[in-house]
Structure 1
């Protein structure tokens, strides 16, 4: 199982960070082939055509957020969530977790949906999986900014979803835009407390990426100087959460660190993929 925010994987050319050439796609594809996950939860992908530059579609089926149907003809690039799953795995594709997008009074969502699939590995029980990309701008602070208020509501929507599926195998993967691995992070603590205080059936979620070492080398575009700057992200915002039933099958997790020469010579992403290995997914 892996999660990867591709940073504007798009063919439309309207995003400076999304301008990539054939060599760049080949590098991204070689990294994906090296990781060879059974399931990839992806974020910031505009279209199946863009994803096909990275994912070998002869080996994987792709499932996009329900938002894609409404946005596919847009001339502007979109940040969509979704999955790529090995073709020999059974997949059901229910409706997205739209509540995480915080619909307004008229039902119009302002943020990204959580893509929801039910994956059944060969000879295993079904797993209910979300690919998410939460609100940016509240990485650690807890002040009452608009970003933090929205992120707090999103964690509440996630808790409601977990409670509704609490008797099933659950996995939530993606870009949380929050350092929930930090000791005693209040958003993470409140999320788990809500689950444990559920009166119908207390449940718990385990962050199997809690101790992953983050050392993601990347390049970030500076609009003021119009140059690319090298950066090192030493704190994790991409996580994989699982129910206790899956945590017992978890073996290890890690962040794939891009090689220095790849970062300097190719347009990759400002997120390094995060991988979790489970006994159920051994091949």
Structure 2
């Protein structure tokens, strides 16, 4: 009888907490961490309090798998994730000066909770296009329930706006054409897949007008898959961040550039983490809001 009250408290906590993932759900998080590095040569400098707050956000979301972008070192990840709980995999992007930024690098990668069965696959190196500053895709296969799921974490070329003839759009188009080959292989082999990360291209979920439809159509035409593969956010998208250009200010994004694409997998509760004013006022977090979702 003495154990009934503690058991009731535990059950009540599980029922009330939105961040408790049951054994029947796999929680996946994606976050561009804006030049996260442990050394002073990083373009974005962070102190101990900043790392502590980033760690707190990850603990709040409590992912089984974290797909990260713009991380400069394994040591930086061990400052925000407990190595005893997660395996941390960085892409093998070359450190050659031709492909890096001054004094630092940007890696994609995964942190996988140790109870998740997975296999690390070769990096998707082609989308680097042999260009300075472009990143490799991190490739992974996991086993979840009765599914085998291929995950590809990407960080695509930035700067493609309205003119599809611009240099940035031409490079992005080449990357998308290469990704279409990866997608084609998954589809032809009946593989379940999730393509996620920083696409650096806004994709509209509302499609309120012709312009938005054309915007999405161009992107998915290059990928060779229907626009319905884009997973919808649970609520309307909003991401308020603090930027530092000469002086700090808050801006709000209303269209996401971080996305999740999948055709077969039942993805639920796709949400964006909203930074609190307190978090933003006193900490250097990121210029992206984390997104997260569950697989039943």
Note the alpha carbon deviations across 1:174-219, whole angstroms, 9 max, x for none: 000111125345464245446668xxxxx88621135653322211
1:128 maps to which of 150, 156, 161: 150
Whether contact under 8 Å (2:67, 2:110) holds in the other structure is: yes
Change (3 A) 1:185 1:174: farther
TM-score by length of 1: 0.84
Return structure 1 stretches of 4+ with deviation > 3 angstroms: 68-71, 184-188, 190-197, 209-212
Q: CA deviation at 1:70?
A: 6.3
Change (3 A) 1:87 1:215: same
State whether structure 2 residue 139 is matched by structure 1 residue 116. Answer: yes
1:77 maps to which of 101, 104, 107: 104
Aligned-partner SS, 1:94: strand
* Cα separation, 1, equivalents of 2:53 and 2:107: 21
Q: CA deviation at 1:243?
A: 2.4
- 1:200 equivalent in structure 2: none
Note the alpha carbon deviations across 1:148-167, whole angstroms, 9 max, x for none: 11111111111111001111
TM-score by length of 2: 0.80
- 1:3 equivalent in structure 2: 30
- 1:238 equivalent in structure 2: 258
- 1:256 equivalent in structure 2: 273
* Cα separation, 2, equivalents of 1:195 and 1:11: 36
- 2:79 equivalent in structure 1: 53
* Cα separation, 2, equivalents of 1:274 and 1:23: 22
Structure 1 range deviating more: 47-56 or 27-36: 47-56
Aligned length: 260
2:217 maps to which of 174, 185, 189: 189
- 2:159 equivalent in structure 1: 137
Gaps of 5+ in 1: 198-202
* Cα separation, 1, equivalents of 2:125 and 2:174: 13
Q: Which has the larger radius of gyration?
A: 2
Gaps of 5+ in 2: 1-27
* Cα separation, 1, equivalents of 2:277 and 2:113: 30
